[in-house]
Amino acid sequence: MILSRAMIQERLKNGEIFVEGTWDDNCVKEASYTLRVAPDGMLINGKRYPPGTNYPEPYIKIEPGSIAILSTIERFNMPKDVVGHQGIRFDYAVQGLTGLMGIQVDPLFGSNIEKRDERLYLRFANLGNDAVVIEPTEAVFNIEFQIVDGNVDRKSIDDNHGPRPPTWERLLRQIARQPQPSWSYVTRVQADLTSEVGRVEKIFQPVVMFGVFLVAATVLGAVLAVLLSVGSNDAGAVPLWVTGWVWGILLFTVSVSVLAVALIGFATAFRLIRGK
């Protein structure tokens, strides 16, 4: 059974689900609660802002392909008969935000009296084409609550897991094992492809330039051959199509060809020297 708005409010007023003073009645929906982003306890663009250190900018910008960690303003105090399932709200999911962590919030999460700052940490990737901009205190995530059928014992949880360090420390310990934890695999593949394409272009560019140079030299040779052929013949043997204004065209063609060959040759040599 999913808790309705009235049942969520009743639990909250009894000090359950969230620690008193950390929840907002405006975030209670018909059958869920919208979780707000805390200004601290986050990892953005590879930079850490641990609990107690606020993000210095007014807006959090998550670039395409990057992975971020955000935490909630709400501090959890889950009762033993309630389990939560969280996700990304529709308006942010359609922009490309995709969750990278489990969706379940277990019964008794945060109920340890020694921990009154047991917030929820959420890791996700921006798989969209544009940056996603989030303002601290903005309601980005959503959680619904269901009744657990059966008994959940605090002692059994402690016996199975033992003493645990703060969630922030556990999270950093896990991502420290991952290469480039702030970038998704898709982004790395795209970067590798871009680098490979650039390398191939760098290899073949001199070849292409030399081909253009060779074509230009061939055109120049053909024009010079025509001029030499005309100059070696008697005036009466010269074809009519090379008389008069056609000479101007031939001279112009020769000039352009010489200039093109010189420029292409210089550019090819420059690129080869620069690439070494």
**25: its two tokens:** 């009645």
Tens digits of residue pLDDT in 172-223? 887 776 666 555 444 444 445 555 555 555 656 666 666 666 666 676 666 6
Number of structural domains the chain divides into: 2
Q: At what angle do helices 185-231 and 246-275 cross, to 10 degrees?
A: 140
Q: pLDDT per residue over 227-267, tens digit each? A: 566 555 555 555 555 555 555 666 666 667 667 766 766 66
- CB contact set of 30 (below 8 Å; sequence gap of 6+): 4, 5
| Residue finishing a domain among 183, 211, 237 | 183
Burial bucket for residue 140 (CB in 10 Å: 0-12, 13-18, 19+) = buried
Query: 61 and 96: one domain?
Result: yes
Regarding whether 204 and 176 lie in a shared domain, the answer is no
Q: Both 242 and 194 in a single domain?
A: yes
Residue range of the domain that includes 260: 187-275
Q: What's this model's pTM, rounded to 2 decimal places?
A: 0.64
Phi-psi region of 97 (alpha: psi -120 to 50; beta: other; left: phi over 0): beta
- CA–CA distance from 7 to each of 74, 124, 141, 259 (Å)? 18, 30, 20, 84
Which of 167, 183, 199 marks a domain boundary?
183
Domain end among 183, 200, 223: 183
Q: Which helix (H) or strand (E) holds 122?
A: strand 119-126
Same domain (yes/no): 216, 120:
no
| Helix, coil or strand: residue 223 | helix
Whether residues 205 and 128 share a domain: the answer is no
Same domain, 205 and 154: no
Same domain, 231 and 218: yes
Asked whether residue 112 falls in the same domain as residue 209, the answer is no
Q: Are residues 120 and 148 in the same domain?
A: yes
